[in-house]
């Protein structure tokens, strides 16, 4: 006897749209919160044109990267366990450099870091839901 398995849709487009919209909403909340506690409203990453654009770019790059690793890696789950945190840490480097150089106030740097964390957390949740990876075989 055979069984029919129905899998969830693995849509890159849906994933990109969800991450872009949800990430932009989360980043707007971070920006508004940062400004409300004293961060300068003219801080570059706190401007909607900046964080929405970068969130869309991140959602596209993340979705295609996720799909590529899921398809090509022998053990995608293992790859994601180190790649996601490494990507997050690398994404923070420019923010810290801009903070230490004095180009950005530290309140803006902290807001940018919170935006990175929010966007990556949303992206991973959406990608796991929409484009689940196969489990590593022991």
Domain span holding position 45: 12-130
Helix (H), strand (E) at residue 13? helix 12-36
Q: How many helices (H) and strands (E) does the chain have?
A: 4, 0
pLDDT score recorded for residue 138: 45
Q: Quick check: is 4 in a domain? A: no
pLDDT for the residue numbered 77: 92
Size (the chain), residues: 138
For the chain of 138 residues, list the mean pLDDT of each consecutive stretch of 10.
55 96 98 95 90 98 95 93 97 96 95 98 96 73
The pTM of this model reads 0.88
Report which of 64, 67, 4, 56 is spatially closest to residue 27, judged by C-alpha positions.
Answer: 56
Domain count, the chain: 1
Alpha-carbon distance of 78 to 138, in angstroms, equals 11
51 CB neighbour count, 10 Å cutoff? 23
As a whole number of angstroms, the distance between CA 134 and CA 131 comes to: 10
Q: What is the pLDDT of residue 95?
A: 96
**CA 84, CA 89: separation in Å to the nearest integer?**
9
Q: What is the pLDDT of residue 9?
A: 52
7 domain-assigned: no
Question: Are residues 51 and 28 in contact, defined by beta-carbon separation less than 8 angstroms?
Answer: yes
Neighbours of 46 (CB within 10 A): 24
Residue 137 lies in a domain: no
Rounded to the nearest 5°, which phi and psi values hold at 14?
Answer: -60, -40
Give the span between the Cα atoms of 99 and 87, in whole angstroms. 19
Closest CA to 95 of 134, 39, 44: 44
């Amino acid at each position: 006897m055979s069984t029919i398995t129905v899998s969830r849709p693995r849509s890159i487009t849906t994933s990109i749209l969800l991450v872009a919209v949800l990430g932009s909403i989360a980043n707007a909340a971070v920006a508004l919160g940062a400004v409300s506690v004293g961060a300068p409203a003219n801080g570059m990453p706190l401007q909607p044109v900046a964080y929405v654009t970068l969130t869309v770019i991140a959602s596209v790059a993340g979705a295609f990267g996720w799909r590529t690793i899921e398809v090509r890696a022998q053990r995608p789950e293992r790859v994601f366990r180190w790649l996601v945190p490494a990507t997050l840490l690398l994404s923070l480097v420019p923010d810290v450099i801009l903070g230490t150089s004095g180009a950005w106030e530290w309140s803006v740097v902290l807001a940018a870091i919170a935006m990175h964390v929010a966007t990556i957390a949303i992206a991973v949740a959406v990608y796991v839901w929409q484009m689940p990876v196969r489990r590593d075989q022991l």
